[in-house]
Amino acid sequence: MATVTFDKASRIYPGADHPAVDELDLHIENGEFLVLVGPSGCGKSTSLRMLAGLEDVNSGRILIGDRDVTSVLPKDRDIAMVFQNYALYPHMTVRENMGFALKISKTPKDEIARRVDEAAAILGLEPFLDRKPKALSGGQRQRVAMGRAIVRKPQVFLMDEPLSNLDAKLRVQTRTQIASLQRNLGVTTVYVTHDQTEALTMGDRIAVLKDGVLQQCGTPQDMYDRPVNKFVAGFIGSPAMNLGTFHVDGDEARLGSAAVRLPRDTVAALTEADGGRITIGFRPESLEVVSEQVGTTIPVVVDLVEELGSDAYIYGHLAGAADSAIGSGPDDSADSPIIVRVSPRTAPKRGETIHVRIRENQQHCFSAATGERIA
């Protein structure tokens, strides 16, 4: 086991105008489960491949423990990688697949057998050791790929979207197994996914990337409660945070027929560059349905009600706002709805207009000019 450090590590592909990964500064503790998350093309898989030695580092360094591995061959880095497509040998049995890397490194046969049996017991693969991959389900194949990594006893596990080929139910089950297994083994793990729900439920910490730049790194609770900018706010959370850019009028923010009260220190923190505007974010569960007479409310026309048994989610649009909107996700626009969580017993009907208000201390304010959080 070891720490992992990206020290201003950059990767620029030939012919590209911008780095795929731009001066990544990130330290991963010994035994930590860190999740790299972000939209497609953000640089998360490239970062993982740089750590694995499969991509060159154009500037900066990568360290495993105290050892600079920037120019070290992949086979000499003492890492094990689990791929999206399992990468199993179809002509080999489960036992042979799991032990192949040890065989190549000329590990004694009895040691290979012992390690494979140990890993198979941990992963519940003992009944399948003599089967070939074609006779296994997707979840079983993924466990074989995990077992192949475990038997090597590496310093670092690298996982590149290992659950993306599984169906929804199996994904939930397998991600629980992977997180539990990592904590039992205590091996430093870097896990790449585009699914922020996976990130929130699995990682000790999450690192969010956009356009090759690290946006924020912290615990799942930190990311959810105090996103540092508009992008992280809209990306982390399911359903996504609602975001809208309002005009500031005294101690209120207004957007069409919507009005939100602002704390005085928030108004004072606005700069000339903001131009009298502010971006306000609020999560679906941070809204409460109130009477129209309250005054400072957000009127929402209900387009769809999604009933989930224990909760209901309203998807709608801002009433009376033809040229401006509040939307959910990092790219708030008229194409993305406002989302409100309500009790399924009191869910309104499609076409109704409801008035909602942000609960006290549950709104997130961002600079309209920079997108950065206003403390």
- Reported as a single tens digit per residue, the pLDDT across 99-145 is 999 999 999 999 999 999 999 998 889 999 999 999 998 889 989 99
* CATH topology classification for 240-367: OB fold (Dihydrolipoamide Acetyltransferase, E2P) (2.40.50)
Q: Quick one: pLDDT at residue 177?
A: 84
Inform me whether the pLDDT recorded for 21 exceeds 90.
yes
Inform me whether the pLDDT recorded for 171 exceeds 90.
no
Query: How far is Cα 97 from Cα 254, in angstroms, rounded to an integer?
Result: 61
* CATH topology classification for 4-234: Rossmann fold (3.40.50)
Inform me whether the pLDDT recorded for 331 exceeds 70.
no
Q: Quick one: pLDDT at residue 334?
A: 54
First-to-last CA distance in the chain?
A: 38
Inform me whether the pLDDT recorded for 168 exceeds 70.
yes
Mean pLDDT of 226-238: 94
Question: In this structure, are residues 190 and 28 in contact, taking their beta carbons and an 8 Å threshold?
Answer: yes
Helices within the chain (DSSP H only): 44-52, 94-104, 109-123, 138-150, 168-185, 196-202, 220-225, 230-235, 264-269
pLDDT band at 166 (very low <50, low <70, confident <90, very high): confident
The DSSP secondary-structure symbol of 372 reads B
* CATH 2.40.50.140 segments of the chain: 240-367
Inform me whether the pLDDT recorded for 363 exceeds 90.
yes
Inform me whether the pLDDT recorded for 66 exceeds 90.
yes
pLDDT band at 325 (very low <50, low <70, confident <90, very high): confident
- Dihedral, 58, 60, 65, 66 alpha carbons, nearest 10: 120
Taking only the tens place, the pLDDT of each residue in 149-165 is 999 999 999 999 988 88
CA angle 41, 26, 367 (to 5 degrees): 70
Q: Quick one: pLDDT at residue 332?
A: 54
Query: How far is Cα 62 from Cα 72, in angstroms, rounded to an integer?
Result: 10
With DSSP H G I counted as helix, E B as strand and the rest as coil, what are the percentages for the chain, rounded to 5?
Answer: 30, 30, 40
* CATH 3.40.50.300 segments of the chain: 4-234
Mean pLDDT of 253-264: 92
Q: How distant, in Å, are the alpha carbons of 83, 149, 202, 253, 350 from that of 241?
A: 31, 37, 20, 18, 21
- pTM beyond 0.85: yes
Mean pLDDT (the chain) is 92
